[in-house]
Amino acid sequence: LPFGLQKEVNSHLRAHLAKKAVNKESLRNTYPASNVGQGQLIYEGLEEQEVSSTKSVIAERVLQRRSLQMHNKQQDWQESSEGQKMLEFRKSLPSHDARETLLRTISQNQVVVVSGETGCGKTTQLPQYVLESEIEASRGAACSIICTQPRRISAIAVAERVAAERGEEIGESVGYKVRLEGMRGRDTRLLFCTTGILLRRLLVDRNLKGVTHVFIDEIHERGMNEDFLLIVLKDLLPRRPELKLILMSATLNAELFASYFGGAPAIHVPGFTHPVRNYFLENILETTGYRLTPYNQIDNYGQDKLWKMQKQGLRKRKTQIASAVEEALMAADFREYSPRVRESLSCWNPDSIGFNLIENVLCHICRKERPGAVLVFMTGWDDINSLKQQLEAHPLLGDPSKVLLLACHGSMSSAEQKLIFNKPEDGVRKIVLATNMAETSITINDVVFVVDCGKAKETSYDALNNTPCLLPSWISKASARQRKGRAGRVQPGECYHLYPRCVHDAFADYQLPELLRTPLQSLCLQIKSLQLGSISEFLAKALQPPEPLSVQNAVEYLKMIGALDEKENLTVLGRHLSMLPVEPKLGKMLIYGAIFNCLDPIMTIVAGLSVRDPFLMPFDKKDLAESAKAQFSACGFSDHLALVRAFDGWKHAEREQSGYEYCWRNFLSMQTLRAIDSLKKQFSYLLKDIGLVENFESCNICSHDEHLVRSVICAGLFPGICSVVNKERSISLKTMEDGSALLHSNSVNAQEAKIPFPWLIFNEKIKVNSVFLRDSTGVSDSVVLLFGGSVSSSGLDGHMKMLGGYMEFFMKPELATMYLSIKKELGELVQKK
């Protein structure tokens, strides 16, 4: 029975049974006292049978009545003048011509793949066609259609749009459900939800009981959740032969999906677009006369990279960033670098270069006679916000009588979001700063100019959508084409790519599926919590399966940190980690922070590691900036603790209204600190939501204890560990896998002549020329033994083995034995908590 009708049927049923209650008494009377038990059995037997048959009769009647109501309501709306207008609009969409073909194909096949240009009406129309045809066939009340969206904002926006097209309030026949929020009612038959919500539903309802149609939208994005969902649904289809699955994609790689489902039919909806003129960086520089910032303002990683290239004689011109980017890309395949390096390559000094260039291009466009909105593709909301601030201060772009400046990103409210669809007054140019969400999920009709920064990332951390943090990196050719296409919706358009053509030529054709480019640890946890069997067998069934080695690495890692036991079963820790939408190591840190009552500083550290380093290191003032940072570390030998102290200092300064001055004095990025602050808030909602924290006060009674915080950092980041040997003039570091390592020059520990700790715990190491540790915290032997690795008793053996090597070299064996027994007790304590 569909959601919402259960209650109604049950109340009818109760009324019916109440009438029967008299009979129950008489039945009892017909049996002698000694036989009461038997009598009752007979009676209950009767009742059960009767209840179920009565119930199905009642359900049938309720369904019919409802379906009829839905049918009449639809008729009324379509005959009203507003309804007529809406219908006219809907008929003008390219998907309308394909309506009958689509419906027929869906009714004849279990799986159908539909592709079509963005804006042709896939998301808003297709599920609606199905709903309408079910209503017309008097099955309206019996159907249950689910349409997934990769992002929460588009789930809400689309649901609102479809409800409006049907002349309804949201929550009538159309609803939405995203994490922590939803609008649906008794009559909701078309539900838009995030992919994560459907996955979570599968956790409790493995057969998707009652669901008749599942639409998976934006499948071309190849997000991890969508790929994951495909595996689960592929397994489910044979068990639910009447369930229909429709995959919707913007680009033309439909065959890939069709063949995954054994040659499912693929339908293409032709769209309409006007020609769009392309400008690359070299053309832009020529036409706008803009000069790029000299390269000595490039950030540190860019510097490392450039120095290296200079040494190799690869760089000749030193003054143009364009050539630097170009050569960096040409010199090496940038995809090989760790995300952090890629981030710096793609975000050269984002505060000045990118922004000024964008500002320049926008002025160039605004001076044109030609009307039309501008869509600027940025990487995330922090970028968008700071660009917006900069533009607002500009004499032309900040003038509200000439320019309407709007932002569009995932964490925006739906009221804010509606503004971007409005038409500005005559003579006012609309400029929308958007993330790659505007590539396909959202269509702004009047766009004529597109500015493409060439990079994309998801919001730095989006707890609500359950998306792990992604760093900015270059987009694919397919994305660049998609972005360009947004300019040609209503008339011929122009697209400004802020990178040289050669960089574009080096882009991958399609973005690598998320499954193949992100660590699999979180996914493996999810597979286990959904009880989908063996991790490697499950992942081998993916559309493009990840390397067995990376699966194995992930499983080994999860065992080592104690999230899985030797038999690959979820431990208590693992179960909690699977509920936290952060990397397992950061999740473990949060859980330990909560257990050991030092949650606030740990949340600061986890948020800092998820967002980015708030310590600014301007090239020309590096010494000053370094000493400002060193001040925060003072005898702490920890970048993580320096972050906590800097953050707490800023919060204090904010209360005294001197936050800005504080940041300025200490070389801190206020914008990053704010992002960290808001992420911490999300963490606290989340920890409360999953029941890990009840009372924040009691979770913070030990927050001032830096030794404890150090231990919790170790609990989370282990096995990111290296040994420290202080030599006369230098410090030698050794990690487990790579041997020797160096401290990155931004680390507070790089300034120290001697580190009075035998170990450094780090979050990330990067291979540039040698292995660099970005951030580190000194810890003692006992902390490593007690907090490093798993503390669950089952993981203890593996842990001993791992530390065995270290103990021989660095520890006295008898001490080790003692530590391990304490550790066991500690482990039991954690399990109990």
- Shortest spacing between CB 97 and ligand CDP, in angstroms: 13
- State which residue, 122 or 576, has the beta carbon closest to Mg ion: 122
- State which residue, 122 or 680, has the beta carbon closest to Mg ion: 122
3-class secondary structure, 633 = helix
With CB under 5 A as the rule, give the number of residues binding Mg ion: 2
- Shortest spacing between CB 170 and ligand CDP, in angstroms: 12
123 binds Mg ion (CB under 5 A): yes
Q: What DSSP letter does each residue of 290-330 carry, written as one string?
A: --PPPGGGS-HHHHHHHHHHHHTT-----S-HHHHHHHHHH
The H or E element spanning position 391 is: helix 381-392
Counts of helices then strands in the chain (DSSP H, E) = 35, 23
Query: Which of the listed partners (ligand CDP, Mg ion, none) does 64 bind, with a CB threshold of 5 to 8 Å by partner kind?
Result: none
- Shortest spacing between CB 60 and ligand CDP, in angstroms: 34
Backbone angles phi, psi at 621, to 5 degrees: -125, 35
Chain mean position to CA 824? 36
Query: Which of the listed partners (ligand CDP, Mg ion, none) does 443 bind, with a CB threshold of 5 to 8 Å by partner kind?
Result: ligand CDP
Distance CA 660, CA 654 (A): 8
3-class secondary structure, 775 = coil
Closest CA to 298 of 271, 272, 318, 274: 318
- State which residue, 191 or 741, has the beta carbon closest to ligand CDP: 191
Count Cβ atoms below 10 Å from residue 658 Cβ, excluding itself: 14
- Contact track, Mg ion, 636-675, x by CB under 5 A: ----------------------------------------
Q: For the CA atoms of the chain, what is the radius of gyration?
A: 30
State both tokens at 534: 């063996």
- Shortest spacing between CB 467 and ligand CDP, in angstroms: 20
Query: Which of the listed partners (Mg ion, ligand CDP, none) does 77 bind, with a CB threshold of 5 to 8 Å by partner kind?
Result: none
Query: Which of the listed partners (ligand CDP, Mg ion, none) does 199 bind, with a CB threshold of 5 to 8 Å by partner kind?
Result: none
- State which residue, 122 or 184, has the beta carbon closest to Mg ion: 122
Distance CA 749, CA 630 (A): 9
Count Cβ atoms below 10 Å from residue 801 Cβ, excluding itself: 9
- Contact track, Mg ion, 453-482, x by CB under 5 A: ------------------------------
- Shortest spacing between CB 133 and ligand CDP, in angstroms: 17
- State which residue, 122 or 489, has the beta carbon closest to Mg ion: 122
- Shortest spacing between CB 227 and ligand CDP, in angstroms: 20
Query: Which of the listed partners (Mg ion, ligand CDP, none) does 666 bind, with a CB threshold of 5 to 8 Å by partner kind?
Result: none
- State which residue, 325 or 432, has the beta carbon closest to ligand CDP: 432
- State which residue, 74 or 123, has the beta carbon closest to Mg ion: 123
- State which residue, 445 or 769, has the beta carbon closest to ligand CDP: 445
Amino acid identity of 178? V
3-state secondary structure 531-543: CCCCHHHHHCCCC
- Shortest spacing between CB 438 and ligand CDP, in angstroms: 11
Chain mean position to CA 89? 33
- Shortest spacing between CB 339 and Mg ion, in angstroms: 28
Closest CA to 675 of 647, 701, 697, 711: 647
Query: Which of the listed partners (ligand CDP, Mg ion, none) does 107 bind, with a CB threshold of 5 to 8 Å by partner kind?
Result: none
Query: Which of the listed partners (ligand CDP, Mg ion, none) does 124 bind, with a CB threshold of 5 to 8 Å by partner kind?
Result: ligand CDP
- State which residue, 269 or 609, has the beta carbon closest to ligand CDP: 269
Phi-psi region of 550 (alpha: psi -120 to 50; beta: other; left: phi over 0): alpha
User: In degrees, to the nearest 5, what angle opens at C-alpha 384 toward C-alphas 379 and 389?
Assistant: 155
Distance CA 298, CA 196 (A): 39
Amino acid identity of 217? D
* C-alpha dihedral, 10 to 16 to 21 to 24, nearest 10°: -90
Query: Which of the listed partners (ligand CDP, Mg ion, none) does 120 bind, with a CB threshold of 5 to 8 Å by partner kind?
Result: ligand CDP
- Shortest spacing between CB 493 and ligand CDP, in angstroms: 15
Beta bridge pairs of residue 462: 467
Closest CA to 519 of 491, 557, 485: 557
3-state helix, strand, coil in the chain (%, to 5): 55, 15, 30
Distance CA 444, CA 641 (A): 45
- State which residue, 123 or 790, has the beta carbon closest to Mg ion: 123
Query: Which of the listed partners (Mg ion, ligand CDP, none) does 445 bind, with a CB threshold of 5 to 8 Å by partner kind?
Result: ligand CDP
- Shortest spacing between CB 213 and Mg ion, in angstroms: 16
CA distances (Å), origin 54, targets 14, 17, 25, 26, 61: 11, 9, 20, 21, 11
Which residues have CB under 8 Å from 715's CB, separation 6+?
588, 589, 592, 787, 788, 791
- Contact track, Mg ion, 67-106, x by CB under 5 A: ----------------------------------------
- State which residue, 271 or 500, has the beta carbon closest to ligand CDP: 271
Q: Which stretch binds Mg ion (CB under 5 A): 116-124, 296-304, 663-671, 690-698?
A: 116-124
- Shortest spacing between CB 793 and ligand CDP, in angstroms: 52
Question: Nearest-CB residue to Mg ion?
Answer: 123
- 39 and 27 in contact (C-beta within 8 Å)? yes
- Shortest spacing between CB 312 and ligand CDP, in angstroms: 46
Query: Which of the listed partners (ligand CDP, Mg ion, none) does 93 bind, with a CB threshold of 5 to 8 Å by partner kind?
Result: ligand CDP
Query: Which of the listed partners (Mg ion, ligand CDP, none) does 792 bind, with a CB threshold of 5 to 8 Å by partner kind?
Result: none
- State which residue, 125 or 571, has the beta carbon closest to ligand CDP: 125
- Shortest spacing between CB 480 and ligand CDP, in angstroms: 18
- State which residue, 123 or 578, has the beta carbon closest to ligand CDP: 123
Distance CA 637, CA 40 (A): 75
Whether the ω angle into residue 581 lies within 30 degrees of 0, i.e. cis, is: no
Count Cβ atoms below 10 Å from residue 185 Cβ, excluding itself: 14
- Shortest spacing between CB 164 and Mg ion, in angstroms: 16
Alpha helices in 246-299 (DSSP H): 254-260, 281-288
- 176 and 182 in contact (C-beta within 8 Å)? yes
Residues that bind ligand CDP (CB under 6 A): 93, 116, 118-125, 157, 161, 421, 443, 445
- Shortest spacing between CB 417 and ligand CDP, in angstroms: 9
The site for Mg ion (CB under 5 A) is made up of: 122-123
